[in-house]
């Protein structure tokens, strides 16, 4: 029965390449369009290449640390971990690069296809996004299955997951800094000071802004989601393994999450065909319908698979299979619920966004205060959703049930990533349509597609955040089970009445806010630098504004690239270093508490940043749609301030927190063998308490 996993995964990879060819064959339009597309491609590739160089050093250092940690370990040979780790980094990096390349290839053909109407244009951009979604999820699942099949040991898969996570850490943080540096700077000078329209080609930051969309939302978001996806699979397999000492029962427990993931992947693939065949007029609705269809298909297919699994691998009780299948459905439900709550707090037909828009009439400060306080309030329903899903999943299958909830939530990741990658493609296609001097109706089609991408985003983000939280909960518990196995006499407890545990929890709690601060500072600093550069170009070359002289795009691209690369080093070291050092100093239990502390504040700050940012963004759009006086009023100026503050909140700091806590959890799991040998798992300092 388990053979269904590689078959479906390979099928997805195959379709990814089929869609890739479709996109590459499509007509990219006029010479002008191809030239500008070339700039974007070049910028994106230059960034990714330079990033991978830095990343390579980071991967080598971590590989050495892993080798040292597993040196002489009885259970797992060090080279197995090092190889899977490097494999994880390589496969994930390769899939990200291919997906990104297709993304920056699809923008111009999308614009050109608008000449044949909405469905044609939609298809190009949607297939372009689907490459990333199918390739990254398919390749990930295929590798997880292969490693597990060869070694029979989920712990070795942990190395693969950690490798994918290292990539995600760089992609998400680096991409997030890059995209918002360009966006904030382009808005501050272009829109506010010189009143240029969005994506105006006279703006020297225009290309950097386009590149940023791709490296942030395609490469970054894709890497982040696949990181959670693989981690949740591994954690659940590990939790399944800990439930029994009998080999066949272990295998049965480890098979269920693989089967659920395969079902989800198939559902995503079918969902993609459904969407592309049904598209008529409303692409936003088509995308969201696609998500719901994929979720429904997942329910049906996974039920079938579980039924077959229970027959072919009857080593565990049929009821146990079904209970954990149900836990997975609650995971899907929680993901949708968080998406809906996000929608409430950020939709401009609802109170939070409208009140934020109204407050803008009384100035910049009240816009900030109103949006921020709604961001804080939005923590409530989403966190309650996570609590309920966690509690029910626990009742259904204890920690293993929570693991399956996270697997369920992430099962339709193919759809989620596809929809997400759709956004920047259509966003870029709009700029290119203007470059190619397409007709107004054709540009309107690109516009329409762009806003469809934004609509789909609310649900995507809800999934990403909820999935991140549940995944790290699963990692937290699997870490504890693993510790019990390695040190059978050790008292594994995250009891906050112990001082080592309390120290761990406090350190963990402060990581997400400090990490966010570093990313926001990075955007802030680099955007200020770029603002200076844009002002310089406009002053020294007045022809740029008149359209008689070309703006120097390369300079802005360079500021964004080098800034993002420099500024992701410290946050990256923090996310791996903090659990590592805490474990060495305070031991196994402190690291468990560190993860718990990071989950608590991570989810809270993630929701705050994401939703406050979304509220500000849509409050601005609400005013720009002509409400409350429209453009040119104090309300509009204040709303633009809110939107600019919200940019790094919602697109840099907020989503990066997912990756952060996932990396922390995987670091803990990887280096547990190291912590276990220091004073019997207590670390260097705890014995003195």
Q: Which of residues 616-645 bind a copy of itself (CB under 8 A)?
A: 638, 640-642, 644-645
CB of 624 to a copy of itself, least distance (A): 16
Comparison of 309 and 595: residue with beta carbon closer to a copy of itself: 595
Q: Which of 300, 304, 510, 684 binds a copy of itself (CB under 8 A)?
A: 510
DSSP-based three-state secondary structure for 490: coil
CB of 160 to a copy of itself, least distance (A): 26
CB of 669 to a copy of itself, least distance (A): 15
Q: Which of 521, 541, 555, 631 binds a copy of itself (CB under 8 A)?
A: 521
Q: Please list every residue from 163 through 202 that binds a copy of itself, using CB under 8 A.
A: 184, 188, 192
CB of 641 to a copy of itself, least distance (A): 4
The CA-based dihedral angle spanning residues 554, 557, 563, 569, taken in that order and rounded to the nearest 10 degrees: -120
Q: Please list every residue from 275 through 334 that binds a copy of itself, using CB under 8 A.
A: none
- The size of the interface with a copy of itself (CB under 8 A), counted in residues, is 73
- What is the Cα–Cα distance from 529 to 85, expressed in whole angstroms? 37
Q: Is there binding between residue 203 and a copy of itself (CB under 8 A)?
A: no
Q: Which of 45, 244, 493, 627 binds a copy of itself (CB under 8 A)?
A: 493
Distance of CA 41 to the CA centre of its chain: 22
Per-residue binder mask for a copy of itself (CB under 8 A), 523-552, x = binder: xx--xx--x---------------------
- What is the Cα–Cα distance from 145 to 13, expressed in whole angstroms? 14
Nearest to residue 437, comparing CAs of 81, 32, 93, 119? 32
Q: Is there binding between residue 239 and a copy of itself (CB under 8 A)?
A: no
- What is the Cα–Cα distance from 383 to 385, expressed in whole angstroms? 5
Q: Of 80-88, 160-168, 297-305, 600-608, which segment contacts a copy of itself by CB under 8 A?
A: 600-608
Q: Is there binding between residue 11 and a copy of itself (CB under 8 A)?
A: no
Q: Is there binding between residue 487 and a copy of itself (CB under 8 A)?
A: no
Comparison of 89 and 492: residue with beta carbon closer to a copy of itself: 492
**Given CA atoms 168, 174, 179, 184 in this order, what sign does their dihedral have?**
positive
Q: Is there binding between residue 684 and a copy of itself (CB under 8 A)?
A: no
Residues 467/232, Cβ–Cβ less than 8 Å: yes
Distances (CA, A) of 533 to 401, 526, 557, 647: 53, 11, 11, 20
| 3-state per-residue secondary structure call for 212-268 | HHHHHHHHHHHHHHHHHHHHHHHHHHHHHHCCCCCHHHHHHHHHHHHHHHHHHHHHH
CB of 437 to a copy of itself, least distance (A): 33
**What's the Rg (C-alpha) of the chain?**
24
Q: Is there binding between residue 364 and a copy of itself (CB under 8 A)?
A: yes
Residues 454/644, Cβ–Cβ less than 8 Å: no
Angle subtended at Cα 283 by Cα 278 and Cα 286, rounded to the nearest 5 degrees: 50
Q: Of 47-55, 91-99, 499-507, 654-662, which segment contacts a copy of itself by CB under 8 A?
A: 499-507
Q: Is there binding between residue 689 and a copy of itself (CB under 8 A)?
A: yes
Q: Please list every residue from 570 through 599 that binds a copy of itself, using CB under 8 A.
A: 592-593, 596-597
Q: Please list every residue from 381 through 420 that binds a copy of itself, using CB under 8 A.
A: 383, 386-387, 390-391, 394-395
Q: Which of 150, 247, 376, 581 binds a copy of itself (CB under 8 A)?
A: 376
Q: Is there binding between residue 505 and a copy of itself (CB under 8 A)?
A: yes
Q: Is 531 left (phi over 0), alpha (psi -120 to 50) or beta?
A: alpha
State the distance between the two ends of the chain, measured CA to CA, in whole angstroms.
52
- What is the Cα–Cα distance from 609 to 185, expressed in whole angstroms? 20
């Amino acid at each position: 029965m388990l053979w269904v996993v590689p078959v479906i995964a390979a099928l997805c990879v195959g379709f990814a390449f089929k869609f890739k060819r479709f996109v590459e064959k499509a007509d990219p339009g006029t010479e002008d369009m191809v030239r500008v597309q070339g700039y974007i491609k070049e910028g994106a590739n230059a960034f990714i290449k330079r990033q991978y160089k830095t990343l390579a050093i980071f991967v080598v250092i971590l590989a050495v640390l892993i080798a040292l940690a597993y040196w002489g370990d009885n259970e797992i040979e060090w080279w197995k971990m090092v190889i899977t780790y490097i494999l994880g980094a390589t496969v994930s990096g390769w899939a990200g690069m291919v997906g990104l390349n297709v993304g920056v290839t699809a923008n111009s053909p999308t614009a050109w296809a608008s000449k044949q109407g909405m469905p044609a244009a939609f298809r190009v951009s949607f297939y372009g996004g689907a490459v990333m979604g199918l390739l990254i999820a398919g390749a990930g699942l295929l590798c997880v299955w292969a490693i597990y099949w060869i070694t029979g040991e989920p712990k070795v898969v942990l190395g693969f997951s950690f490798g994918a996570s290292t990539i995600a850490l760089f992609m998400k943080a680096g991409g997030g800094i890059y995209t918002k540096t360009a966006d904030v700077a382009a808005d501050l000078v272009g829109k506010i000071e010189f009143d240029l329209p969005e994506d105006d080609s006279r703006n020297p930051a225009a290309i950097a802004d386009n590149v940023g969309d791709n490296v942030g939302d395609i490469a970054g978001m894709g890497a982040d989601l696949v990181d959670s996806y693989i981690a949740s699979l591994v954690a659940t397999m590990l939790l399944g393994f800990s439930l029994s000492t009998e080999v066949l029962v272990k295998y049965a427990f480890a098979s269920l999450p693989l089967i659920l993931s395969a079902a989800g992947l198939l559902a995503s693939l079918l969902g993609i065909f459904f969407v592309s065949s049904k598209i008529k007029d409303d692409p936003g609705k088509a995308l969201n319908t696609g998500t719901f269809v994929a979720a429904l298909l997942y329910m049906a297919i996974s039920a079938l698979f579980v039924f077959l699994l229970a027959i072919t691998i009857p080593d565990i009780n049929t009821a146990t299979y079904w209970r954990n299948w149900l836990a997975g459905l609650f995971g899907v439900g929680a993901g949708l619920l968080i998406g809906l709550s996000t929608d409430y707090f950020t939709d401009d037909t609802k109170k939070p966004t409208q009140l934020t828009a109204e407050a803008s009439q009384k100035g910049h400060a009240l816009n900030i205060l109103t949006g921020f306080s709604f961001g804080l309030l939005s923590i409530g329903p989403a966190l309650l959703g996570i609590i309920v899903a966690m509690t029910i999943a626990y009742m259904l299958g204890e920690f293993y049930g929570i693991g399956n909830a996270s697997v369920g939530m992430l099962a339709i990741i193919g759809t989620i990533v596809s929809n997400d990658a759709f956004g920047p493609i259509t966003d870029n296609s709009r700029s290119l349509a203007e470059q190619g001097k397409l007709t107004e109706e054709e540009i309107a089609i690109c516009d329409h597609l762009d806003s469809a991408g934004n609509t789909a985003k609310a649900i995507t983000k809800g999934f990403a955040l909820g999935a991140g939280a549940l995944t790290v909960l699963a990692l937290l518990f699997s870490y504890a089970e693993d510790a019990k196995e390695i040190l059978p006499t050790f008292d594994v407890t995250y009891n906050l009445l112990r001082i080592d545990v309390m120290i761990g929890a406090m350190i963990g709690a402060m990581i997400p806010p400090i990490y966010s601060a570093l990313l926001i500072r990075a955007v802030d600093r680099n955007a200020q630098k770029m603002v200076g550069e844009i002002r310089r170009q406009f002053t020294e070359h007045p022809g740029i504004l008149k359209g008689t002289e070309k703006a120097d795009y390369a300079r802005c691209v360079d500021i964004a690239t080098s800034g993002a690369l420099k500024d992701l080093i410290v946050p990256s070291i923090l996310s791996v270093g903090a659990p590592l050092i805490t474990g060495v100093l305070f031991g196994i239990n402190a690291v468990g508490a560190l993860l718990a502390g990071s989950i608590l504040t991570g989810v809270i700050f993630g929701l705050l940043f994401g939703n406050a940012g979304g509220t500000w963004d849509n409050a601005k759009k609400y005013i720009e749609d002509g409400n409350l006086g429209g453009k040119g009023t104090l309300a509009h100026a204040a709303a633009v301030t809110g939107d600019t503050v919200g940019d790094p909140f919602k697109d840099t700091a907020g989503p990066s927190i997912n990756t952060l806590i996932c990396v922390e959890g995987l670091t803990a799991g990887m280096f547990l063998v190291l912590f276990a040998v220091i004073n019997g798992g207590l670390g260097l300092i705890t014995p003195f308490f």
